[in-house]
C-alpha cells in the first residue's frame, strides 16, 4: 500500500481565503485500474486559471470542480506504476493530475504527455517550455498575429505567461510594453526581460503612460481584464488587436462582471478582440515545443521560478501567485 497526501476542495473559496476551502488529506492508494498510470509528482505548477475551477460558475471554460474531490492541477513527475503500455515505469511525464504526492490518471487523461529527457532541468516543462510558453506563443503569434515593429502591450507581464509573451513578442521583432504591479516587477521587466517600456500599474497612471506611445498600441495581450482593460482600450491603434488570454482580476468573482466602458472604441478604431484557450490546441504541442526550445537554446527565452517547497505549502504558493507576489513561474517542489 502507498500512502498519498492530497488537497481536497471542501467548499468554494471566498476571495483568496484558500485555507478555509481546501484541506490536506491522506489516503492509502488502491491498486490501479486497467489503463491507469500512477505518477510521483516532483513539481506542481500553480496556474491562475485553476481559480475558475474552484468557483461554482458554470459559464467558465471548465465546469466547476465538484466539492469533496481532489484539487486538479498541472504537474511533472515520474511514472511509478502503470497499466497503460504507452507509459513505462520511470517515464517522465506532465499532466493535469492532482495536487498530491501521487497523481493517478488514465493514460489518455487530459494533457498527459511524455517529456523530452534532454532538457537539463525538468522544471522547464512547466516553465518556458511548458503550457505557459505555448499559450504565450499562440496568443502573440496567431491570435494577435504580431508583426515586426508593432507595439505590443502585455499585462501581468512579470508573471509566467506574461514574461514569456513579452519575450516572444520581442523575438518576433515587436516593441514591447510590459505592465505589472510594483517597482521590483518594473525593474525586472526593464532589466531582465528588456522590454521597451515598463509600467508599474500600482504606482503609475497606465493611461497617461500609454498615451505617449507613438501611433498607439497595436496589440494588447491581456492577462488581467477589467479595470486595466479600460485604461488600455482608448490607446489602441487603428485596427489593433486584443488577444484575451486571461481575466485574472476577476477570477474571484462568483458572478460575471461588467465589460469595458470604452467599448465604443472597438468600432471607432476597428479593433479585433479575441479570446483564445490553449487546451483547444494541444494537438499542436510538437510545433509549439520546437519553437520554444529553439529560442531557449539560443538564450532568447527564459523564465525564473518562484519555488515553494513541500506539498503542505501549496496554498501559500497559490496565494503568492494570485496576490501578485511572484516574479516568473510559481511552482511547488515536493519533498521526496
Q: Which residues bind ligand NAP (CB under 6 A)?
A: 47-49, 132, 135, 156, 158-162, 180-181, 185, 223-224, 228, 245-249, 276-278, 321-322, 324, 326, 330
Q: Min. distance of Cβ 25 from ligand NAP in angstroms?
A: 25
Comparing CB distances to ligand NAP, the nearer of 60 and 216 is 60
Minimal distance in Å, beta carbon 100 to ligand NAP? 20
Is 107:81 a contact under the CB 8 Å cutoff? no
Task: Label the pairing between strands 197-200 and 151-154.
Answer: unpaired
**259 closest CA partner among 240, 241, 233, 235:** 233
Burial letters 23-52, b for 16+ CB under 10 A, else e: eeeeeebeeeeeebbbbbbbbbbbbbbbbb
Which residue, 213 or 248, is less far from ligand NAP as judged by CB?
A: 248
Q: Which is nearer to ligand NAP, 112 or 224 (CB)?
A: 224
- Separate counts of helices (H) and strands (E) for the chain: 9, 16
Query: Distance (Å, rounded) from C-alpha 211 to C-alpha 193?
Result: 22
Under a CB-based contact definition with an 8 Å cutoff, are residues 239 and 270 in contact?
yes
Of 116, 110, 115, 106, nearest to 82 by C-alpha is 106
Nearest to ligand NAP of 11, 323 (CB atom): 323
Nearer to ligand NAP, 237 or 322 (CB): 322
Nearer to ligand NAP, 74 or 115 (CB): 74
Q: How far is the CB of 41 from ligand NAP (least distance, A)?
A: 18
Output the smallest distance, CB 30 to ligand NAP, in A: 32
Name the minimum Å distance from CB 227 to ligand NAP. Answer: 8
Q: Are 281 and 290 spatial neighbours (Cβ–Cβ below 8 Å)?
A: no
SS3 178: strand
Closer to ligand NAP by Cβ: residue 79 or 160: 160
Quick check: helix, strand or coil at residue 84?
coil
Closest contact distance (angstroms) between CB of 187 and ligand NAP is 13
Strands 36-45 and 175-180: unpaired
Name the minimum Å distance from CB 185 to ligand NAP: 6
Q: At what angle do helices 160-171 and 285-297 cross, to 10 degrees?
A: 70
Judged by beta carbon, residue 104 or residue 132, the one nearer ligand NAP is 132
- Give least dist CB 77 to ligand NAP, A: 19
Residue 8 cell numbers, joined: 481536497
Amino acid at each position: 500500500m502507498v500512502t498519498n497526501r492530497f488537497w481536497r476542495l471542501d467548499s468554494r473559496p471566498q476571495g483568496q481565503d484558500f485555507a478555509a476551502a481546501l484541506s490536506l488529506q491522506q489516503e492509502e492508494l488502491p491498486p490501479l485500474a486497467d489503463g491507469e498510470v500512477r505518477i510521483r509528482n516532483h513539481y506542481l505548477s500553480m496556474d491562475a486559471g485553476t481559480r475558475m475551477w474552484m468557483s461554482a460558475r458554470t459559464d467558465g471554460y471548465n465546469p466547476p470542480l465538484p466539492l469533496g474531490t481532489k484539487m486538479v492541477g498541472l504537474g511533472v513527475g515520474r511514472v511509478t506504476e502503470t497499466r497503460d503500455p504507452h507509459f513505462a515505469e520511470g517515464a517522465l511525464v506532465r499532466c493535469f493530475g492532482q495536487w498530491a504526492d501521487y497523481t493517478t490518471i488514465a493514460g489518455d487523461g487530459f494533457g498527459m504527455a511524455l517529456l523530452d529527457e534532454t532538457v537539463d532541468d525538468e522544471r522547464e516543462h512547466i516553465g518556458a517550455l511548458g503550457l505557459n510558453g505555448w499559450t504565450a506563443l499562440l496568443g502573440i503569434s496567431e491570435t494577435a498575429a504580431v508583426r515586426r515593429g508593432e507595439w505590443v502591450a502585455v499585462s501581468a507581464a512579470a508573471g509566467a505567461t506574461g514574461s514569456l509573451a513579452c519575450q516572444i513578442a520581442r523575438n518576433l521583432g515587436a516593441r514591447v510594453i510590459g505592465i505589472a504591479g510594483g517597482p521590483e516587477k518594473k525593474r525586472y521587466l526593464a532589466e531582465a526581460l528588456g522590454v521597451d517600456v515598463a509600467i508599474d500599474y500600482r504606482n503609475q497612471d497606465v493611461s497617461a503612460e500609454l498615451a505617449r506611445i507613438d501611433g498607439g498600441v497595436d496589440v494588447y495581450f491581456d492577462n488581467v481584464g477589467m479595470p486595466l482593460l479600460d485604461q488600455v482600450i482608448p490607446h489602441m491603434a487603428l485596427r489593433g488587436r486584443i488577444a484575451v488570454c486571461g481575466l485574472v482580476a476577476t477570477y474571484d468573482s462568483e458572478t460575471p462582471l461588467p465589460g469595458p466602458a470604452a467599448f465604443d472604441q472597438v468600432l471607432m478604431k476597428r479593433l479585433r478582440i479575441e479570446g483564445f484557450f490553449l487546451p483547444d490546441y494541444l494537438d499542436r504541442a510538437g510545433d509549439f515545443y520546437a519553437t520554444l526550445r529553439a529560442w531557449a537554446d539560443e538564450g532568447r527565452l527564459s523564465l525564473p521560478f518562484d519555488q515553494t517547497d513541500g506539498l503542505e505549502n501549496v496554498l501559500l504558493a497559490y496565494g503568492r501567485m494570485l496576490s501578485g507576489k511572484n516574479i516568473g513561474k510559481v511552482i511547488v517542489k515536493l519533498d521526496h
